[in-house]
Amino acid sequence: MTYAEAAGRTDVMWLRPSASTGSRQPTPRTKGSVRVWVYDPGTNRELGCESMLEFRFALMLMADPEVVCIEDQPKARKYLVPGESKRRKHTFDFLVTYRSGKKIAFAVKPAEQVEEEGIELIVDLITVQSLAGFADEAFVVTDELILPEMAENAEDIVEARKSRNAADCRAVLEFMQQHFEPISMHDVCNAFQDRGWARCALLNLIYDGLVEHLDPTQTFDEAPLVRTVFN
């Protein structure tokens, strides 16, 4: 079967992932830095990350159903610092397009480096001077918001998205819809002969917003209670 015959369905036809579109690529790993490439199942493209904090945030973005496109290291934006005559450049870590059409640029930094690097001032200057036509808003995101537990859950969801099976999702959703009270993810998985595919389906249902994880600040293993979202 060719990709054309599959009518663009990557669930029945594998398509080689495309390379990162980043305007720059992560530098070679050193003692003080890391480089990570991660596969985005939403765009079938690799994303480059220059720190574990960026990697964790990328996972959280890929686990957000409202996100339709993630661009790593987009084209640098120019800005002018008051009192200077020469423009500087700054490259945001991610440019994210949401289902609503809104585009948001994110600068990802450890909280301890925010003041030292003056990143908030840089983002403010770019917002006023050169953000138009590039993004609707720009924000600085730190490790105060990128919790390891949330990133771990996001990674589980992203991995599950890569192995999504529609029939499995329907079966697990039918089971969940029989329970109006919160139920442990372990109990849901134990109700099926193959716990692995049941967990994969359950994680996809959480991504779809059809099932809710009741404590998203904790890992699925530490806080496994979920419930069906009844509209």
Sheet holding 211-213, edge to edge: 183-184, 225-228, 211-213
pTM exceeding 0.75: yes
Task: Render each residue's pLDDT in the chain as its tens digit; 231 residues.
Answer: 455 555 555 555 556 666 666 656 656 555 556 678 888 888 888 898 889 999 999 999 999 999 999 999 999 999 999 999 999 999 999 999 999 999 999 999 999 999 999 999 999 999 999 999 999 999 999 999 999 999 999 999 999 999 899 999 999 999 999 998 999 999 999 999 999 999 999 999 999 999 999 999 999 999 999 999 986
Burial class (CB in 10 A: 0-12, 13-18, 19+), 119: middle
Element (H, E) at 71: strand 67-72
Q: What angle do CA 131, 140, 221 make, to 5 degrees?
A: 135
Burial class (CB in 10 A: 0-12, 13-18, 19+), 143: middle
